[in-house]
Structure 1
């Protein structure tokens, strides 16, 4: 059974982590005797190359780690065994001026496997390799399932079958899925590794940004990938069916390394079919009971798929008052709620909803973002307040029943992108719900809009979906282009405002 996690943290190793680190290593390598690094070894690694030593924590507990050295490329070419590559475990082979980031260990506590935590460690290593302008990541991977096939298959044949997915190896299959390729087979690599028959596979990941003439590299992430979900309204028998459909899309967009998965406004409306016999105000209040279970499940998805999830919106009861809210579920396991501020006449008339009073940006690992629900984007003051807080991307989950309603959302969203010099991503629902009162038809075309200047599409449209068809939209946006626009654009809307004559401010900051 998979361990539940509330918060995940990836950071550099500290010496104070050693006790927890040792326990996790012993659990991770039960087949190897004396399978943990001694405290003096960890202290030396930190002294030599603290940036290369990474740990991952689940609810404050060290559950995984990745250790690295920088070595000369010529050392790797000499086909060394584990003792030689580590300088007989003294780490004397570490050379800050070397070309290769060599992974000497990586592990995840067995109770925390299956949550893609190992993938985070590998992604962090790749970022470090790029940051330090190193040529490649190299390491020797064990093949612990080989002992089951050693009598029938040579190591070469075994590796070929793992590559073709005819066989599964708990280590090698994982490495191949993380874009590493096999360089060669190594004999007598790790003494005592009977599961691998002391064979190992030398694996490599090439840094395509490597520059033999080192230059200063901007290490701050600037390219953000958005995964927008144009959700088809369809009958759903229960909450588990909704989770199954939602996970399908989260899995799909995370498979393309998206940083965000964005759902539309009130995408959970199909669940209201069970309450169609009730009045509309009572039915929508029954739907509100799903809000907390959805938040918790989406937090799990955010951790498991290593993606920030914007949960669209759903009805939410707070002290007897009905709001339209959504949740930003971050990939570190935390979550924040956002409210629809402006309530449409229809929401007031049929459901008795009220608007929230929280106007704020959200800090993410991709910078500051804003989130508005549908009608909110039609009020320019609101997004300007968020732009003043240095918002780079504005997300707008929406639901519109007619093309005229969609047109209002679309054109206002485009205006917000231009006037606030930011990206605006809108995601809506499509399809019909004939058995749900007041939610029977939907019209949508999901899109990402940009400012209007030479660095951006001349139409101000980065990408858009086919209207009224269930699909995803995966789009890269470059935050560095926004920085350039703010300072050197042909029009500098944010800088050229006459704040000496007028201002927009929160009444309750």
Structure 2
């Protein structure tokens, strides 16, 4: 390594670089005679795919390079050797309509190793793969240290020992540290590679941003805007008064182009004042008669304001049983129901409520979401199942009377965000209802929680409302950060679970 370096530059290869490229290649592969690209090869490569050819320069000198082609995925899936993948040096395998960026060479001059210049080349390749919307990077890597162990280890055993860091291979160890994973072993891949005994390892890096069918309209959204409504409990004369107040908030968050409007649990409770002469159990069953009209009205508002509405929750009678349910009213005019699974002792004692029996996620135009009602968020198994189904945002309408009850919801919601590597948005009611039995006081601080890693707030809180004040909380969440976290996070909680020891699964009814 040089003692002093003034400048390092990464750029696309130019034909004028050829002489320096050749010299660096010769130094990089001393064990392989004539192991350098000919001038006409480089000229041909630059003619068909110039953006795929990269070089690293140190103080103006070419000291490394990464060369690649675009090939069809079916070509990679077939058994092949190096000569076949490059079309016997004609590069006729290059296909601009292909799905795979195939690496055909990468090297760093031995005098410049240890500077992580190879990592720069790989990062540039990954960026190119994403920019070109290709499915993956694939290449066959040599295993040059295998020759030292070939008399006692099969290639499979050798690879396992390199992966577990019992052995070090200068090529394979580097590839694995750059997030490539092994697809299969290739036999007789590169003629003359005695150090590898002509074995190679087919490796792959997946582009998590690959869009299989890019569209000009209705494209998948990456940044989702949430409109959370911290609802003030107030006396309401009738159902129309509830609709008027609800539409006001929907209009507000829609005006800020929110993708979701989220109401709290049992925010319709003020309508129960008309039934205060009844027992608590009778009064809430009367309130349940409003649930279907509310669903229909919210469906209309979702269409009118072009927004997905999560209707908090409300009592719902079915076959004589009382449930706590809500509706996801989508802007396409459809709606789906979700049910509180874990009902509190208070809901059972005063209202005779029953818990639901279905765990499900919902497909929306903003990706897959989960919805849990208040107490449900204190049971981690349910949201883990949702995460396994691909949930990115978990919505939790809640209703808590005291601060300690709220703290349970808050801290459990934060835990769900961390352990499931997702966003969790909670929305609650504030104020008091002196004229409604069993609904006296409310405490809430609406918030959006995030996973805990460098791309997110250090305290795991994206935003919080002012406690106990009626307001809206409008928050953008970026789904791309979740994709990055799932693959490249400091820890990868979903991937690192020991499913060989324990599993959580949904019981089908």
The normalised TM-score by structure 2 is 0.57
Partner in structure 1 of residue 413 of structure 2: 413
Q: Number of paired residues? A: 295
Q: Which residue of 2 aligns with 1:423?
A: 423
Query: What CA distance in whole angstroms lies between the structure 1 residues aligned with 2:221 and 2:392?
Result: 13
Displacement of 1:317: 0.1
Shift of 1:457: 0.3
CA distance in 1, matches of 2:430, 2:408: 17
Once residues 459 and 428 of structure 1 are traced to their aligned partners in structure 2, the CA distance between those partners, rounded to angstroms, is: 21
- Correspondences of 1:331-410 after superposition (within 5 Å): 331-410=331-410
What's the CA shift for 1:399? 0.1
SS in structure 2 of the partner of residue 414 of structure 1: helix
Q: SS of 1:327's equivalent?
A: strand
**Structure 1 stretches lacking a partner, 5+ long:** 1-130, 132-215
Secondary structure class of the residue paired with 1:316: strand
Distance 1:287 1:502 in 2: 43
- Closer, same or farther in 2 for the Cα pair 1:406/1:329, shift >3 Å? same
Q: Within 2, Cα distance between the matches of 1:218 and 1:288?
A: 37
- Partner residue in 1 for 2:222: 222
| Structure 1 Cα separation of the partners of residues 307 and 468 of structure 2 | 26
Aligned residue number for residue 159 of structure 2: none
Q: What SS class does the counterpart of residue 229 from structure 1 fall into? A: strand
User: What's the CA shift for 1:219?
Assistant: 5.3
Q: Report the equivalent of 1:190.
A: none
Q: What residue is the counterpart of 2:503 in the other structure? A: 503
Distance 1:237 1:452, change over 3 A: same
CA distance in 2 between counterparts of 1:427 and 1:283 reads: 25
Which whole-Å deviations, capped at 9, do the CAs of 1:21-54 have from their partners, x for residues lacking one? xxxxxxxxxxxxxxxxxxxxxxxxxxxxxxxxxx
Matches within 5 A, 1:40-439: 220-439=220-439
Distance 1:480 1:377, change over 3 A: same
Rounded Cα–Cα distance in structure 1 between residues aligned with 2:473 and 2:219: 27
Aligned to 2:494, the other structure's residue is in SS state coil
Equivalence map 1:3-18=2 (5 Å): none
**Aligned pairs (5 A) from 1:408-487:** 408-487=408-487
Distance in 1 of aligned mates of 2:422 and 2:438: 34
SS in 1 for 2:315: strand
Structure 1 residues 219 and 276: alpha-carbon distance in aligned structure 2, compared to 1, 3 A threshold: closer
Q: 3-state DSSP class of the match of 2:324?
A: strand
How many Å separate the matches in 2 of 1:309 and 1:217? Answer: 22
- What is the rounded CA distance, in whole Å, between the counterparts of 2:385 and 2:438 in structure 1? 32
CA deviations on 1:377-400 (whole Å, 9 max, x unpaired) are 000000000000000000000000
Distance in 2 of aligned mates of 1:366 and 1:354: 31
- Measured in 2, the distance between the counterparts of 1:253 and 1:306 equals 11
CA-based RMSD: 1.6
* Matches of 2:221 and 2:402, distance apart in 1: 38
1:220 is displaced (CA, Å) by 3.1
In the alignment, the residues of structure 1 paired with residue 218 and residue 252 of structure 2 have an alpha-carbon distance, to the nearest angstrom, of: 29
Tell me the SS of whatever aligns to 1:349.
Answer: helix
Deviation at 1:286, TM superposition (A): 0.3
Deviations 1:402-453 (A, max 9, x none): 0010000000000000000000000000000000000010000000000000
Corresponding residue of 2:25: none
Describe the superposition over 1:103-159 as per-residue Cα deviations: whole angstroms up to 9, x where unpaired: xxxxxxxxxxxxxxxxxxxxxxxxxxxx9xxxxxxxxxxxxxxxxxxxxxxxxxxxx
Aligned to 1:494: 494
- How does the TM-score come out when normalised to structure 1? 0.57
Which residue number in structure 1 is paired with residue 124 of structure 2? none
Gaps of 5+ in 2: 1-130, 132-215
Q: Deviations over 1:289-315 (max 9, x none)?
A: 000000000000000000000000000
Structure 1 residues 260 and 217: CA distance shift in structure 2, 3 A: closer
Using the TM superposition, give the Cα deviation of residue 217 of structure 1 relative to its aligned residue in structure 2, in angstroms. Answer: 13
TM-superposed CA distance for 1:507, in Å, is 1.1
> In structure 1, what is the Cα distance between the partners aligned to 2:304 and 2:382?
33
2:220–2:365 CA contact under 8 A, matched in 1? no
Offset at 1:221? 1.4
The answer to whether the Cα contact below 8 Å between 2:220 and 2:366 also exists between their aligned partners in 1 is no
